[in-house]
C-alpha cells in the first residue's frame, strides 16, 4: 500500500498572542490511538481532565469541563446559557475582546449597559459601581480578565465583589488568563468563566475549558425559555461529563485533543500553580528589562500590565508588516500585530504555554536585534 506524504510544516517559535508552543508531552500524547467518546478508558480521561481543571480554576464546582471547540465557543456557551432576551447586562469593554462579549450579549437580546475604558487602561471600578447604582435589576456583568488586544489586566476580583453586592452574576473571559496569572473562581465568586487550550495551558488549539457556579447553573435551570443552542446547553452537555459509568451520548469528542489538554494539565499540576504564576512574572520581567534597555517602550506599564501578553510600541518609521514577515521567515519567530485602532502601532508578544523560559525570550530578542 502506498504511503501518503506527511504534512510538512516549519517549526516556529510562537511568541504572539496565541497559540503558544505546547507544554512537554502534549504533541506526543496526540499520537496515542483514537478512542470512542464512550469508551470506558476515555471516560476516565474525562474525569481526570475535570479534576485538573478544578485545580486550575481553583474551584470545587462540579460544573467544570471542556467544550469541544475554541475559546470563542466557550464564550458563546456562557452567553447562550445565561442571557435571556430583555436581561439587563453590564458589558465592560476596554479592548477588542470586551467588544466581542458585548456583541454576544446583543445577539441574545440583552439590554446592554456599557462600561468602557480607553484601550490600554483598565476598567474603572467607580464606573462599574455607578452603572449598578443607576440601573435596577441588572442580571449579569461581563468582563475580560486579560485583554489580549492591549495587554491590560482588569480587576476581576473587585468587579465580582460589586456584582455580588448588587445581586448580579458575572461572566469572565479568561482566555489569556487561565494558567498564566492568579484566577480564583470560588474565592472571588465568579459565576461563568471560559478559556482556551492553546495559551496559558500550553496545549493545542480547539478546546475551551469552562466552569459555572451553582448560582449560574440554577439560572439556566430556571430560564423562561430553553437555551437556544442544544449543543451548548450546559444542562445537557454536563450529563456527558457526569462522573458515572453510564453516560448519555452528546457528541463525538475529539479524543486526540482531550489527550493533549490532559498532558498539559498534568504538566502544570506537576510544577504547581503558584510556581507557574511566578514563572510568568519572572520571565516577563526579564523580557521587559531587556526590551527597555534597547529603547523599546511598552503600551501598558504598572499593575495593569499583563506578564503573559506584552504590548510593545513600534518605533517611529518601523514597518510593522515587513518586519513581522522577516521575523517569521528568516528567524522562525512569530509575533502578533495590533488589533483595531492599534494595528501598525504595536506588537503583541506572548510569553505563555511552553515558552515561559529565558531561552524562548532570548531567541525572540535575537530576532528583534537583527531586524
Q: Give residue-wise pLDDT tens across range 271-289.
A: 999 999 999 999 999 999 9
Q: Is the pLDDT confidence value at 245 over 70?
A: no
For the chain, the average pLDDT equals: 95
Q: Can you tell me the mean pLDDT for 160-167?
A: 98
Rounded Cα distance, 192 and 296, in Å: 38
Q: Which residue has the higher pLDDT, 9 or 308?
A: 308
Q: Which of residues 268, 301, 334 is at a domain's end?
A: 268
CA angle 81, 258, 61 (to 5 degrees): 45
Q: What pLDDT, in 10s, does the model give residues 132-152?
A: 999 999 999 999 999 999 999
| Residue pair 358/38 in contact by the 8 Å Cβ criterion | no
Residue 326 inside a domain? The answer is yes
Are residues 247 and 284 located together in one domain of the fold?
no
Residue 365 inside a domain? The answer is yes
Are residues 261 and 279 located together in one domain of the fold?
no
Strands 111-116 and 152-153, bridge-based pairing? unpaired
Are residues 290 and 359 located together in one domain of the fold?
yes
Q: Residue 314 belongs to a domain with what CATH number?
A: 3.90.1150.10
pLDDT band at 301 (very low <50, low <70, confident <90, very high): confident
Q: Can you tell me the mean pLDDT for 262-274?
A: 97
Q: Which of residues 247, 268, 289 is at a domain's end?
A: 268
What SS3 class is residue 65? strand
The rounded Cα 63 to chain-centroid distance in angstroms is 18
Q: Residue 198 belongs to a domain with what CATH number?
A: 3.40.640.10
The number of distinct structural domains making up the chain is 2
Question: Dihedral through CA 346, CA 182, CA 81, CA 73, nearest 10?
Answer: 40
> Counting beta carbons within 10 angstroms of the beta carbon of residue 185, is it exposed (0 to 12), middle (13 to 18) or buried (19 or more)?
buried
Residue 39 inside a domain? The answer is yes
Q: Which residue has the higher pLDDT, 243 or 130?
A: 130
| Residue 218: predicted pLDDT | 97
| Residue pair 241/234 in contact by the 8 Å Cβ criterion | no
Residue 159 inside a domain? The answer is yes
Are residues 95 and 209 located together in one domain of the fold?
yes
Rounded Cα distance, 159 and 153, in Å: 12
Q: Can you tell me the mean pLDDT for 306-312?
A: 98
User: Within 13 Å and on the Cβ side, how many CA atoms surround 284?
Assistant: 27
Q: Is the pLDDT confidence value at 48 over 60?
A: yes
Length of the chain: 371
Rounded Cα distance, 151 and 298, in Å: 10
Q: Is the pLDDT confidence value at 188 over 50?
A: yes
Q: What is the chain's percent helix, strand, coil content, to nearest 5? A: 40, 15, 40
Residue 2 inside a domain? The answer is no
Burial 266-285 (b: 16+ CB within 10 A, else e): bbbeeeebeebbebbeebbe
Domain holding 342, by residue range, is 13-19+273-369
Q: Is the pLDDT confidence value at 2 over 60?
A: no
| Residue 1: predicted pLDDT | 47
Percent of all residues in the chain with a pLDDT value above 90, rounded to a whole number: 90
Q: Can you tell me the mean pLDDT for 244-257?
A: 85
pTM attached to this predicted model? 0.95
* Backbone phi and psi for residue 169, each to the nearest 5 degrees, phi listed first: -90, 160
Are residues 277 and 260 located together in one domain of the fold?
no
Are residues 260 and 287 located together in one domain of the fold?
no
Rounded Cα distance, 37 and 35, in Å: 6
Are residues 339 and 214 located together in one domain of the fold?
no
Q: Can you tell me the mean pLDDT for 247-252?
A: 87
Residue 336 inside a domain? The answer is yes
Q: Can you tell me the mean pLDDT for 11-28?
A: 95
Q: How many CB atoms lie within 10 A of CB 308?
A: 30
Are residues 279 and 254 located together in one domain of the fold?
no
Are residues 306 and 256 located together in one domain of the fold?
no
Are residues 196 and 298 located together in one domain of the fold?
no
Are residues 235 and 348 located together in one domain of the fold?
no
Residue 4 inside a domain? The answer is no
| Residue 22: predicted pLDDT | 96
Are residues 69 and 105 located together in one domain of the fold?
yes
Residue 3 inside a domain? The answer is no
Q: Which of residues 232, 250, 268 is at a domain's end?
A: 268
Amino acid at each position: 500500500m502506498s504511503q501518503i506524504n506527511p504534512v510538512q510544516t516549519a517549526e516556529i517559535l510562537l511568541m504572539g498572542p496565541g497559540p503558544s508552543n505546547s507544554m512537554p508531552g502534549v504533541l506526543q500524547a496526540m499520537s496515542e490511538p483514537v478512542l470512542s467518546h464512550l469508551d470506558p478508558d476515555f471516560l476516565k480521561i474525562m474525569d481526570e481532565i475535570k479534576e485538573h481543571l478544578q485545580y486550575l480554576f481553583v474551584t470545587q464546582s462540579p460544573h467544570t469541563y471542556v467544550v469541544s471547540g475554541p475559546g470563542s465557543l466557550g464564550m458563546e456557551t456562557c452567553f447562550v446559557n445565561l442571557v435571556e432576551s430583555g436581561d439587563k447586562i453590564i458589558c465592560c469593554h476596554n479592548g477588542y475582546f470586551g467588544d466581542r462579549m458585548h456583541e454576544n450579549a446583543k445577539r441574545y437580546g440583552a439590554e446592554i449597559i456599557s462600561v468602557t475604558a480607553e484601550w490600554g487602561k483598565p476598567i474603572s471600578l467607580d464606573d462599574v459601581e455607578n452603572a449598578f447604582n443607576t440601573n435596577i435589576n441588572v442580571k449579569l456583568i461581563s468582563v475580560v480578565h486579560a485583554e489580549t488586544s492591549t495587554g491590560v489586566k482588569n480587576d476581576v476580583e473587585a468587579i465580582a465583589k460589586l456584582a455580588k453586592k448588587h445581586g448580579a452574576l458575572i461572566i469572565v473571559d479568561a482566555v489569556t488568563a487561565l494558567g498564566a496569572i492568579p484566577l480564583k473562581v470560588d474565592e472571588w465568586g465568579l459565576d461563568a468563566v471560559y478559556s482556551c487550550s492553546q495559551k496559558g495551558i500550553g496545549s493545542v488549539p480547539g478546546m475551551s475549558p469552562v466552569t459555572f457556579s451553582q448560582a449560574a447553573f440554577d439560572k439556566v435551570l430556571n430560564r423562561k425559555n430553553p437555551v437556544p443552542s442544544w449543543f451548548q446547553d450546559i444542562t445537557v452537555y454536563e450529563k456527558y461529563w457526569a462522573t458515572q459509568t453510564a453516560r448519555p451520548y452528546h457528541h463525538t469528542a475529539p479524543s486526540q485533543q482531550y489527550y493533549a489538554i490532559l498532558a498539559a494539565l498534568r504538566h502544570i499540576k506537576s510544577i504547581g500553580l503558584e510556581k507557574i504564576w511566578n514563572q510568568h512574572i519572572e520571565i516577563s520581567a526579564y523580557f521587559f528589562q531587556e526590551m527597555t534597555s534597547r529603547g523599546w517602550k511598552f503600551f501598558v506599564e504598572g499593575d495593569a500590565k499583563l506578564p503573559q501578553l506584552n504590548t510593545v510600541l513600534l518605533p517611529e518609521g518601523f514597518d510593522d508588516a515587513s518586519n513581522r514577515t522577516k521575523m517569521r521567515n528568516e528567524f522562525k519567530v512569530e509575533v502578533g500585530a495590533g488589533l483595531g485602532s492599534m494595528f501598525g502601532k504595536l506588537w503583541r508578544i506572548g510569553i505563555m504555554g511552553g515558552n515561559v523560559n529565558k531561552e524562548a525570550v532570548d531567541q525572540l530578542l535575537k530576532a528583534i536585534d537583527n531586524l
